[in-house]
Amino acid sequence: MKYRIEHDTLGEVKVPANHMWGAQTERSVENFKIGSQMPYEIIKAFAILKKCTAKINAQKELLDNDKWTAICEACDEIIEGKWNDEFPLVVYQTGSGTQSNMNMNEVIAHIANEKLKCKNIEKKVHPNDDVNMSQSSNDTFPTAMHIAAVSTLRECLYKPLKSLSDTFHKKSDDFKDVVKIGRTHLQDAVPMTLGQEFSGWAEMLDKSMSMIKDSEKYLLELAIGGTAVGTGINSPEDFGEKVSDEIAKETGIPFVSAANKFYALTGRDDFVFSHGALEALAMDCMKFANDIRWLASGPRAGFGEIIIPANEPGSSIMPGKVNPTQCEALTMVACRVHGNQATISFASSQGNFELNVFAPVMANSYIESVKLLSQSIHSFNIHCATGIEPNYERMNQLVNSSLMLVTALSPHIGYEKSAKIAKQAHKQKISLKEAAIASGYVSEEDYDKYVNPAIMTNKDR
């Protein structure tokens, strides 16, 4: 492999000749061979930020037009994904994200200089003096985190979440007259419809969507302009406001400058709060996925009230088995998101004085949760939810054999007599109707009048 010599304040460094990064990136490559790479979403957000800072620096006559133009062209190519291989750094590096900031600065400077050279312009773009002008890693990485988080929510999560909600709402309407037994405490309860059960799941998704969207407002506030400790040293007046406005124009997302830059550099409760809404969604997914796999359990020794699609063989040893694999995948994602919440919450608590130095792991955890939820919800919807059908015979069997239908008698004969009828039916292994008539508390005519599972669901309310 061929190398070129780059230098930084610590001295000379050999850098692969076929790459655009410089000395500080190469040092990080050598020093941190830990875990996975920084998410592309952070790289793209950084490029958007650098483009906008260059534009504002040019407007303030701090950066000349040739350099500004070259920097912006380089940023556009990075945003388009042309230079993805030039960002090799991992999540587990310096906690401020300084090395990722410098990776971006070095690559942009190298690309920009190539463009200036092609135009026969004898100027050199410097990664610190030009690309990082008026900035610090301490305000750029938190800014990139917020841009990436909101962008990923909007680009990845909301569409599949809405699609699954639509599926559940449709199933709720399709099954509005399908009577089944309700369950509380894992015990038989009064009748309901399968449509009503689906409506509860649909509302979970709708509420989760609303909570996640509400949490965006805290991520729309950007740290840029705070520079090293929040005072804004080495940045021009209103730099944060101007750059935030430019980022809003570039992304179409209403980002604003954080009112208090000291908070914006050291506080991460906004990430804890927003990811908390993602965790709430994950817990809802855990709940309805568990419900669905229980309701589909069987085919002969389980509840068996619904039928889910048979997507693949369920067992390598037991022929004919169909497992609820989409439910299992979704519940595993929910576990991972729960773990990411613990990571983000603990990392948020570890800020010292003017800076939180756990930013990369928080950003990675947040983006991973959004992408996992997006992908698993989409997969669950198309491979499971849309194909769910009722097992009418099994539902009727369980409804007609349920002792909890006795609840309909309570307003007419009282709680104690109703309970006595249920206990006798269970003890003597006879139907509820037989026990009720034998008790002498109700006639057959009254029983048929009072105990109607479909009416008991209040489905027409």
In this structure, are residues 252 and 65 in contact, taking their beta carbons and an 8 Å threshold? no
In this structure, are residues 102 and 25 in contact, taking their beta carbons and an 8 Å threshold? yes
Summarised one tens digit per residue, pLDDT across range 225-236 is 999 999 999 999
Give Cα 242 distance to the centre of its chain: 30
Instruction: For residue 312, name the pLDDT band (cuts at 50, 70, 90).
Output: confident
Summarised one tens digit per residue, pLDDT across range 242-255 is 999 999 999 999 99
Active-site residue identified among 36, 315, 401, 443:
315
Q: What percent of the chain has pLDDT over 90?
A: 96
Residue 314, pLDDT score: 73
Q: What is the DSSP letter of 357?
A: S
Mind listing the domains of the chain with CATH numbers? 3-135 (1.10.275.10), 150-176+267-392 (1.20.200.10), 402-454 (1.10.40.30)
String of b and e for 177-205 (b: at least 16 CB within 10 Å)? ebbbbbbeeeebebbbbbbbbbbebbebb
Report phi then psi at 335, rounded to 5: -60, -40
Q: Residues marked as binding for substrate?
A: 96-98, 126-129, 136-138, 184, 316, 321-323
State mean pLDDT over 357-372: 99
Question: What is the phi-psi region of residue 312: left when phi exceeds 0, alpha when psi lies from -120 to 50, beta otherwise?
Answer: beta
Per the annotation, the verdict on 412 as an active-site residue is no
Cα 78 to Cα 127: distance, rounded to the nearest angstrom: 15
Residue 155, pLDDT score: 99
Summarised one tens digit per residue, pLDDT across range 103-130 is 999 999 999 999 999 999 999 999 999 9
Burial class (CB in 10 A: 0-12, 13-18, 19+), 223: buried
Residue 254, pLDDT score: 99
Residue 280, pLDDT score: 99
- Please name the helix (run of DSSP H) or strand (run of DSSP E) that holds residue 182, with its range, or none: strand 179-184
Residue 454, pLDDT score: 95
Per-chain mean pLDDT for the chain: 97
In this structure, are residues 215 and 411 in contact, taking their beta carbons and an 8 Å threshold? no
For residue 317, pLDDT beyond 90: no
Per the annotation, the verdict on 110 as an active-site residue is no
Identify residue 170 by its one-letter amino acid code: K
Residue 1, pLDDT score: 85
Give Cα 390 distance to the centre of its chain: 30
Omega of the bond leading into 299 within 30 degrees of 0 (cis): yes
- Please name the helix (run of DSSP H) or strand (run of DSSP E) that holds residue 190, with its range, or none: strand 187-193
String of b and e for 149-172 (b: at least 16 CB within 10 Å)? bbbbbbebbeebbebbbebbbebb
Instruction: For residue 458, name the pLDDT band (cuts at 50, 70, 90).
Output: very high
Cα 211 to Cα 275: distance, rounded to the nearest angstrom: 10
For residue 319, pLDDT beyond 90: no
Summarised one tens digit per residue, pLDDT across range 186-210 is 999 999 999 999 999 999 999 999 9
End-to-end CA distance of the chain: 75
Cα 82 to Cα 317: distance, rounded to the nearest angstrom: 48
Cα 187 to Cα 203: distance, rounded to the nearest angstrom: 24
Residue 46, pLDDT score: 99
String of b and e for 250-267 (b: at least 16 CB within 10 Å)? bbebebebbeebebbbbb
For residue 315, pLDDT beyond 80: no
Summarised one tens digit per residue, pLDDT across range 130-179 is 999 999 999 999 999 999 999 999 999 999 999 999 999 999 999 999 99
Residue 170, pLDDT score: 99
Q: How many CA atoms lie within 13 A of 250 on its CB side?
A: 26
Cα 138 to Cα 226: distance, rounded to the nearest angstrom: 8
State mean pLDDT over 383-410: 97
State mean pLDDT over 394-421: 96
In this structure, are residues 44 and 148 in contact, taking their beta carbons and an 8 Å threshold? yes
Residue 313, pLDDT score: 82
pTM value? 0.96
State mean pLDDT over 442-459: 95
State mean pLDDT over 426-435: 95
